[in-house]
Homo-oligomer: A and B are copies of this chain.
Amino acid sequence: MQTTFEIVTRGAGLYEFTRDVAAWVTGTGLLTLMIRHTSASLLIQGNADPGVQTDLMAYFQRLVPPSDHPSMAYLTHTQEGPDDMPAHIKAALLPVSLQIPVQDGRMRLGTWQGIYLFEHRKAPHIRQVAAHLSQG
């Protein structure tokens, strides 16, 4: 059982889509989500305090500064703008895919776990997430 989720992004940030996934899963088995891009990531993170998402954004902006920042002068892949290569680096550091056991139609996420798409580019994008659900 496979599908594709499309997530519309309006610049860098975390976009929760837990409800879309929850509405799709069924039965008992294993859910896999895989992002089909190299400049955005998937993430399971805390969905109680929005400050967690703000702080994650801020941390990764500092860990991987734009390529026009003096500390990043060694980067060569800069043609598509200062947020391009840092987006690839963040996409290497953060998950490309997520796996979540499913039981009786419900994902076995913890109480505070939500599913996010982490957009690393400034420009708006339509992002595709391939989904696979095995039964058993």
Residues of A within 8 A of B (CB): 2, 28-30, 32, 34-39, 43-46, 49, 51-52, 54-56, 58-59, 62-64, 74-77, 85, 88-89, 91-101, 103, 108-110, 112-113, 128, 130-132, 134-136
Contacts and interface: CB of A to CB of B under 8 A. Distances in A.
B136 A134 contact: yes
B55 A44 contact: no
Nearest to A76: B51
The 10 residue pairs across chains A and B that have the minimum distance between CB atoms:
A36-B110, A51-B77, A101-B132, A38-B46, A51-B76, A108-B130, A97-B99, A101-B130, A44-B96, A55-B75
Given A2-B28, A49-B77, A101-B132, A89 B34 contact: no
Given A34-B108, A135-B136, A101 B2 contact: yes
Contacts of A49: 77
Nearest to A49: B77
A3 to B, nearest CB: 10
Contacts of A58: 74-75
A30 B131 CA distance: 10
